[in-house]
Structure 1
Amino acid sequence: MTVLRRRTLRALAVAMATAPLLLAAACSHASDSTSSSTTDTGKAAATLPKTLVFSPLSLAPPALKGLSEGVKGMASAQGWEVIVQDPNFDATKQIQQLNEVISSGRAGAAWILAVAPKSMGDLIKTAQSKGVPLLVNGQPAEYGFSGPQPGITFDYIDYTAGGKALGEQLGKCMTEKSGGTGKALYVASQEGTAGKAEFDKAAADAFKAAAPGATLVQTIVAVDRAKAQTDIGNALQGNPDLSAVFSANDEGALGALGAFNAAGKKLNCVTDFGGNDEVLKDVKDGKIYASVALQFSDDTAQSFNTLVKMQADPKANGEVLVVPQKTFTAGS
């Protein structure tokens, strides 16, 4: 998996543990189906079981295993049965498993982290024909659609918004601490990371707009914290007056702190996209200026509530949800 996907799934697993408290009112939506039992929608809603099928990428990574346990706890608290599947990163196996449970009539709704979104077309048609609502990760275009679809809700991360917030925060920090001048380093995620192109562009554009007098001197790629620290240390040798870093992931931000400490240099400004517990503690302590953090607990609440509502009216268009983001600073 990519760096960003691994980090995202770790955060999801943590968030899911507290999700039941956020979803106490979720099942109140289950009674919103039409009062006419003669309509197609009414018949579908009446016959759908309160059974949620959860199909992650795999159960092998501990984060995904933890996420599945969180889903079971959350849905069970609302009176739902949960079927957890394990495609083990195999797109064909994932579709076969989902087809079996949806076609058999056992599924009342499905929550899918798709291994290969573009391969899901026939499965989506099957679910729509059965009136079984789906919630899938990503945007409609990733599945070959141009917008919302009957019985399908899409849930995605707005990488453009995240990159923009990251760049703006670094520019703000450099304006406050060095009059908007100085040299900055960008730590990017690996090639193939979801949303990389739009995130990188938005971050660079926002930084330039927020601190036009500052200079972006180099970009490196963070594979993990140790390598990021080594690479940033090397960048410091070539740019000894480097004073600011903005990172597309937690590994890069934490690696930057380590590199500057090891070199005995002051890092005036560092901003981060991710917001794991260690990063947020460093924000609180003033070591990191800002972290743009994905709010997976809030996303879990909106996702489950949406599935419940969709089950009451499975022929209606689903929604296009966005994972909420929040910027943390020392004063927030």
Structure 2
Amino acid sequence: MRAVGLLAACALTVPAVAGCDRGGNTDLGLALSTLNNPFFVGIKKGAQAEAAARGLKINITDAQNDPVQQVNQMETFTSQDVRAAVINPVDSDAAVPAVGVANRAKVPVISIDRGVNGGTVGTTIASDNVEGGRIAARALAASMGGRGKVAVLEGQPGTSAARERGKGFDEGIRAYPGIEVVARQPADFDRTKGMDVMSNLHQAHGDLTGVFAANDEMALGAAKALGADAGRKVRIVAFDGTPDGIAAVRGGTLTATVAQQPALLGRQAVAWAVRAADGERLPRTVKVPVVLVTRENAARFTG
């Protein structure tokens, strides 16, 4: 493992925005699955802020939801002689080759928001997605009076976040025998796909009274498809706590959203990457708490 003592020396000798020039002039690499989503933009901003505070140069890339690009990006990181790399997998299985690139170069790797189903990863930093799913189930059930029919908009297949949020929701909703989950379909964490999927599901199930969407973007798309029914006839609970999602909660279109803390996730990623580079023994996972945002408390979550 490379020593972080060099990172500390770097921080003492150059401005925060510069980093040290060791060939690639880069200390850390962060491979994000996409930047076409405000949640991941929040992670990026948090990581940039933490790196700047530590005097480190960080290379942040956008894979545009293409796992092949993440392999290429990890190769770039290793060629830049980064001290550690962080990956937010496009897909938990497809990210294994990207992690393998860093493993072979003896660059420590941690993952953020989503786990990796192989390779050597020091730790996974993520929101408590399972508990968040349970919270969402309780909130949706309460808003429906414990009775009705629900559709679930799942996230991108193959991601740990989609799987864990769905698992938590299923566990939570089982406590309400008066609620029936009548449909579930992936919409890839995407707003446009969420609208298209919801439109089809609503046509097939005109008596829906509830929707759980595994992120705000899909929920906002679903709300658009439901039109005047959104938040009234059909209650919608989402996951992420993005500015657009919270604004929709304040406006009553969404019933609630389970808020993550993307900037904190980004800061934690940098902090744990530095510890990984220092050869520290890391916990298998680092869970960042989530909180339910409703119309009553939404003002606390806006800037």
Aligned residues: 271
**Structure of greater Rg:** 1
- Identify the match of residue 103 of structure 2 among 91, 103, 124: 124
**Aligned residue number for residue 264 of structure 2:** 298
- Identify the match of residue 184 of structure 1 among 150, 154, 163: 150
1:102-147, Cα deviation, whole Å (9 max, x unpaired): 3xxxx4444444675423346336436xxxx5433367762345xx
Contact 1:171 1:208 in 2 (8 A): no
- Identify the match of residue 56 of structure 2 among 53, 74, 80: 80
Displacement of 1:306 in angstroms is 3.0
Q: Distance in 2 between matches of 1:295 and 1:136?
A: 16
* Cα 1:328–1:267 shift into 2, 3 Å: same
**2:78 maps to 1:99:** yes
**2:121 maps to 1:155:** no
Equivalent position SS for 1:127: coil
% identity of equivalent residues: 26
**Aligned residue number for residue 183 of structure 2:** 218
RMSD over equivalenced CA pairs, Å: 3.8
Contact 1:273 1:291 in 2 (8 A): yes
Displacement of 1:247 in angstroms is 1.4
TM-score normalised according to structure 2 size: 0.70
* Cα 1:195–1:182 shift into 2, 3 Å: same
* Cα 1:227–1:118 shift into 2, 3 Å: closer
Displacement of 1:295 in angstroms is 0.8
- Identify the match of residue 137 of structure 1 among 107, 112, 121: 112
Displacement of 1:58 in angstroms is 7.6
Equivalent position SS for 1:142: coil
* Greater fraction of residues in helix: 1
Contact 2:209 2:233 in 1 (8 A): yes
Displacement of 1:157 in angstroms is 4.5
**Aligned residue number for residue 166 of structure 1:** 136
* Cα 1:192–1:74 shift into 2, 3 Å: same
Equivalent position SS for 1:185: strand
* Cα 1:283–1:201 shift into 2, 3 Å: same
Equivalent position SS for 2:29: strand
Q: Distance in 2 between matches of 1:288 and 1:207?
A: 18
Structure 1, gaps ≥5 residues long? 1-40
Q: Distance in 1 between matches of 2:84 and 2:296?
A: 41
Q: Distance in 2 between matches of 1:225 and 1:59?
A: 14
Contact 1:229 1:252 in 2 (8 A): yes
Equivalent position SS for 2:52: helix
* Cα 1:207–1:93 shift into 2, 3 Å: same
Displacement of 1:171 in angstroms is 1.3
* Cα 1:255–1:289 shift into 2, 3 Å: same
Contact 1:54 1:68 in 2 (8 A): no
Q: Which residue identity does 2:178 align to in structure 1?
A: G
- Identify the match of residue 53 of structure 1 among 6, 25, 28: 28
Q: Distance in 2 between matches of 1:86 and 1:216?
A: 35
**2:296 maps to 1:317:** no
* Cα 1:267–1:56 shift into 2, 3 Å: same
**Aligned residue number for residue 236 of structure 2:** 270
Q: Which residue identity does 1:137 align to in structure 2?
A: I
Contact 1:295 1:325 in 2 (8 A): yes
Displacement of 1:231 in angstroms is 4.4
* Cα 1:47–1:326 shift into 2, 3 Å: same
- Identify the match of residue 260 of structure 1 among 210, 218, 226: 226
Q: Distance in 2 between matches of 1:202 and 1:191?
A: 16
Q: Distance in 1 between matches of 2:204 and 2:33?
A: 42
Equivalent position SS for 1:242: coil
